[in-house]
Structure 1
Amino acid sequence: MKSGIAYYHLPGLFEFYEFYKVFLPLYREHREYFYDWCEIGSIYGAPKGCIWSGGRISLGEHNQQDVLKLMNKYGISARLTFSNSLIKQEHLTDKKCNELCKLFNDNNKVTNGVIVHSDLLVDYIKSYYPNLYLVSSTTKVLTEFNQLVDEINLKDFKYVVPDFRLNKSFDKLETLTQPQKNKLEFLCNECCFYGCYDRKNCYETVSKQILGYDCPDHICVAPDSQNGYSFSKTMTNPAFIGVDNIKDVYMPMGFSNFKIEGRSLGSALILEFLLYYMTKPEYHIHVREKIYLDNMLDLF
């Protein structure tokens, strides 16, 4: 990691492969379009059908060899989102998840990682896939600052993603040492209701469904939840971290890692995130034109 640089950790490693296949060459060839104080730290996700997955039910289906080849080409760390909280001993032998870990572990061009929740899976990956670094998942919902500090101090994790409601605890965040700050990875654009009391149950429901348990969907009772994700609404969330916050507050405090959520959203919205967080305003139109916009495009 370079000093004075903000590293973004982006969603959709498998889910948005086709999008990144277009975006990453643009990012490399026209670096002048993008802020010089930020870089892509990693892209995270999981393919469909991985029982170790968590957080969201993944729909990514792209070939794993192609995905890794693309990340290697641009020198970007790939992270597997294996944050299922309910993994048991019998799940550890899953063929698909092990094959993925082996592929990413044996890669000799870029160091890859795994986002985890289960302590059982942490120990398993450390034993069998030691080249993969570990990221503590926000699905743990550690809402107390002392819990977060304990998690940061665990040597197993290279990064820790705190619950979004700790994003603005500046008086406490300021007390962290620089090595502790280096491990924190803030979730910037979480849309979840700030006062949600059922977030952990929501994640556990996803874990159950991925493992094949017969259980109903989690019913969110937060205000306006029926309207789905809205970036404009997310920007009003008390925990929202905007681009100016990153540049003017977090980076001067010594923080450098920022996570963008969105694996379950559409690629058009992912583009809007990358325009907002990474692209100089005067080049927004240039990026849109390179990605999809032409003079014959009709919206309706």
Structure 2
Amino acid sequence: MNFLEVKNIESSLTGTVYYHLPGLFEFYDFYRVFLPLFYEHREYFYDWCDIGSIYGAPSDCIWGGGRVSDGDSNPEEVLTLLEEYGISSRLTFSNSLLKKEHLSDRKCNELCRLFEKNNKVQNGVIVHSELLLDYLKNNYPELYLVSSTTKVITDFDEFLMETDRDDFKYVVPDFRLNKTFDRLGSMTCGQKDKVEFLCNECCWFGCNDRKKCYEAVSRKNLGENISEHICSAPGSNEGYRFSKAMKNPGFIGVNDIKDKYISMGFSNFKIEGRGLGSALILEFLLYYMTKPEYHVHVREKVYLDNMLDLF
């Protein structure tokens, strides 16, 4: 029985929620302070939640996709930190435009070899491309695979078919399926165990350009000389705002998780945040994981122990 199967069994027995957090490489210094705080002062945090994984990719990986992030912390140090706390590491290799010649990329393959040889925790890869999926299955079978939200699966029947695929341990649907409770409630226990909801998306609920946005990121990671994708959604010039995300019809708040999703049998929730800055990541972790009366305690300890990029 592997790490993920143990986590799922623990969750079904105890009602534990597992958060999947952003910034595996870019926020290494932040997690180096936050993780010991989380596990040494559990009284600060909700007892019904834990950390399932931390995801990300170095900035110059051509297999990379999703939000572009900066930061190239040493992969061995990153793995050592997460191993210490039994947390799974995930490589965000969700580029949707890969071709056969890209599969031989040295850096991406070295990362997969490094992450696969971990003996303490099973690590994974978030993937979009079917070509890369087959390559990873054949060459790195010890890595589990996650179906990326960059596929923008908004049709519920298509989403169900994705959860039924043996290829994936988890499937991250488009955030616009988050509140389709009539259909979500009819899923089997096995399907529910594989669902990983994206909680705090700020993208306009009616956006029709989401695939184009992710495709632009994929082209950029492949080194193509393209112009920046300009989002035409209302308020897009403001950038990410957590207060704005909270008003999104697809937003999943902490009370939604406690009062609705846990009782429905769901236990995995993804927090967006790559490229946003560690100060905002802290706000996410305060909101989703920290008891309100201890917010100031966590802020003080993190601010005093770690130089956050507040300005």
Q: CA RMSD in A?
A: 1.3
- One of 34, 55, 63 as aligned partner of 1:23: 34
Cα offset, 1:58, TM superposition: 2.5
| Matching of residue 194 in structure 1 with residue 190 in structure 2 | no
Which residue of structure 1 aligns with residue 181 of structure 2?
Answer: 170
Give how far 1:112 is off: 0.2
> In the aligned structure 2, how far is the partner of 1:56 from the partner of 1:124?
23
The aligned counterpart of 1:86 is 97
Tell me what 1:96 maps to: 107
Whole-Å Cα distance in 1 between the matches of residues 91 and 85 of structure 2? Answer: 17
3-state SS of 1:270 partner: helix
- Residue 153 (str. 1) matches residue 164 (str. 2): yes
Q: Does 1:60 align with 2:50?
A: no
In the other structure, the counterpart of 2:150 is: 139
One of 207, 216, 223 as aligned partner of 2:218: 207
Structure 2 CA distance, aligned partners of 1:290 and 1:70?
19
Q: Give a deviation string over 1:101-156, Cα, whole Å, max 9, x none.
A: 00000110110000000000000000111110000000000110011001111100
Q: Which amino acid aligns with 2:69?
A: S
Measured against aligned partners, the alpha-carbon deviations of 1:179-211 in whole angstroms (never above 9, x if no partner) come to 000000000000000000010011001000110
- CA–CA separation in structure 2 for the residues paired with 1:293 and 1:163: 37
Identity value in percent: 71
Cα displacement string for residues 204-230 of structure 1 (whole angstroms, at most 9, x for unaligned residues): 010001101121111101111101111
Q: Which runs of 5+ in 2 are unaligned?
A: 1-6
Residue 52 of structure 2 is aligned to residue 36 of structure 1: no
TM-score under structure 2 normalisation? 0.94
Read off the aligned partner of 2:89 and give its amino acid letter: A
Please list, as runs of the form range in 1=range in 2, the aligned pairs for 1:257-276 lying within 5 A after superposition: 257-276=268-287
CA distance in 1, matches of 2:216, 2:239: 18
Q: For 1:148 and 1:99, how far apart are their aligned partners in 2?
A: 32
1:239 match: 250
CA distance in 2, matches of 1:56, 1:233: 18
Return the offset for 1:268: 0.3
1:121 correspondence with 2:121:
no
Q: In structure 2, how many angstroms separate the alpha carbons of the residues matched to 1:108 and 1:88?
A: 31
Give the whole-Å Cα distance in 2 for the aligned partners of 1:105 and 1:273. Answer: 29
Which residue number corresponds to residue 11 of structure 1?
22
Where structure 1 has 5 or more consecutive residues not aligned to the other structure, the ranges are none
Deviations 1:73-98 (CA, angstroms, capped at 9, x unpaired): 11100000000000100000000000
Q: Name the SS for the 1:258 alignment partner.
A: strand
Which AA in structure 2 matches 1:248? D
Aligned residue among 181, 185, 190 for 1:179: 190
Indicate yes or no: 2:241 matched with 1:226.
no
Moved beyond 6 Å, runs of 4+: none
1:293 Cα deviation (Å)? 5.1
The corresponding residue for 1:291 is 302
Q: CA–CA distance in 2 between the matches of 1:134 and 1:102?
A: 15
TM-score of the pair, normalised by structure 1: 0.97
